[in-house]
Structure 1
Amino acid sequence: MKLDLNRLAKRGFIRRDANIGLRGITWTHSYWGDVATGLITADMTAPHAGWFRIQVGNLDQRITLVSEERHFGGWQWYFICPVKNRRASVLWKPNGATRFCSRQTWGRQVAYQSQFNDITNRAHAGKARIKSRLIADLDPEEWDFPPKPKWMRWETYKRYEALYDHYEEILDYGCIALVAKLGKNFF
């Protein structure tokens, strides 16, 4: 489970200069449905400090909030990690953990999925990402590499094309290595 302060603000769960009463929060998974439900409340009435409280099952945690001035004006709010005592926009609670803490506290327990992928899976994901950026409303199965969208600059398109070709080379090399390995074991 994770608490993303910016996402909570966008969805109206918390507001600057306001004390928010109890609000329900739910974590969902695209396959399993609802994972957990809880209650949150926050007090951000002070200009540069506040608190956030989360209650989920047996967990009842109060987290300090601080704001820092942005370079071009305005203020950015952060959680203070209860373990590392450093600012964080996102706090995580992996399975079996007793509280929410920053990513630096949990290490690889809360790493992004792409960090666990091998080179082949990263190449497949990279190709799919580039294709989705270029396709717009075209049929993805119709194109190996889609044509340049009208709104895109040629320099950007050429950069995507070179990166796509790089991913293709990685996948081709992987196929050649696999065939060589299978051939060696077969004969």
Structure 2
Amino acid sequence: MKLDLNRLVRKQFIKPGANIGVRGITWTHSYWGRVATGVISADMSGQAEGWLRIQLGSLDQRIILVSRPRHFGGRQWYFVCPAMNRLVSVLWRPPGATGFCSRQTWGWQVAYASQFLDRDNRAHYNRSKLNSRLCFIGGLDPEDWDFPPKPKWMRRKTYASYEMRFGQYDAILDSGCAALLAKLMQKGI
């Protein structure tokens, strides 16, 4: 489970410059469905400091929030990691943990899925992501296209860069297939 401060603001669970009441929050997984539910409350009415409280089962954790000025005006809010006392935008709670802390606190327990992919699987993943993005922009079905045509309003230079990246991913996959074929032929299979 994770708490992403910027996402909480975008989804209007919390609001900079305001004190919100108690709001329900749910974590879901694409396969298992609802993972956990709890409530959060936050006070971000101060100029530079605030807090967020999360109640989740037996967990009742209060996390300090601080804001820092941005270069071109405004302020950026951050969590203060309870364990490492560092500013972060995302806090994690792996299974069995007693509270939310930064990714650096948990190490590999909360690594992103892409960190575990090898070169070929990363190429598959990125190729699929690029295909989905172009199909979404163009209103097409990703299953119908290996590489979709250029959307009408997209700049040729942008489309050419996508096309080049797609070709690089294909080259990585082709070299992976060639290496696998060479291994199989060496073993006589």
TM-score where L is the length of structure 1: 0.92
Matched residue, 2:164: 162
Aligned to 2:174: 172
Q: Separation in 1 of the partners of 2:132 and 2:38?
A: 35
Alpha-carbon distance in structure 2 between the residues aligned to 1:42 and 1:140: 40
Q: Separation in 1 of the partners of 2:40 and 2:63?
A: 11
The amino acid of 2:162's aligned partner reads Y
Aligned length: 187
Unaligned runs of 5+ in 1: none
Does residue 50 of structure 1 match 2:24? no
Q: Distance in 2 between matches of 1:93 and 1:58?
A: 14
Unaligned runs of 5+ in 2: none
Mapping 1:71-150, distance limit 5 Å:
71-135=71-135, 136-150=138-152
Structure 1 distance, partners of 2:143, 2:34, is 33
Structure 1 stretch displaced more, 135-144 or 95-104: 135-144
Residue aligning to 2:35: 35
Q: Deviations over 1:2-22 (max 9, x none)?
A: 011111122222122322222
CA gap 1:33/1:158 in 2 versus in 1, 3 angstroms: same
Counterpart amino acid of residue 38 in structure 1: G
Bigger shift: residues 105-114 or 8-17:
8-17
AA aligned opposite 1:50:
G
Give the letter for the 1:109 counterpart: Q
Q: Which moved more, 1:26-35 or 1:157-166?
A: 157-166
Cα distance change, pair 66–141 in 1 and its aligned pair in 2 (3 A): closer
Query: Secondary structure in 1 aligned to 2:158?
Result: helix
- Which letter does structure 1 place at the counterpart of 2:50? G
| Aligned residue type for 1:95 | P
Deviation at 1:32, TM superposition (A): 0.7
Q: CA deviation at 1:186?
A: 2.4
Structure 1 residue 145 displacement after superposition: 2.5
Q: Report % sequence identity.
A: 65
Range that drifts further, 142-151 or 157-166: 142-151
CA distance in 2, matches of 1:145, 1:13: 38
Query: Which whole-Å CA distance do the structure 2 matches of 1:142 and 1:3 have between them?
Result: 36
The 2-side partners of 1:125 and 1:74 are apart by 36
> Deviation digits for residues 57-115 of structure 1, max 9, x if unmatched?
12111110111111111111111001111111111011111110111111221111111
Distance 2:9 2:20 in 1: 11
TM-score, with structure 2 as normaliser: 0.91
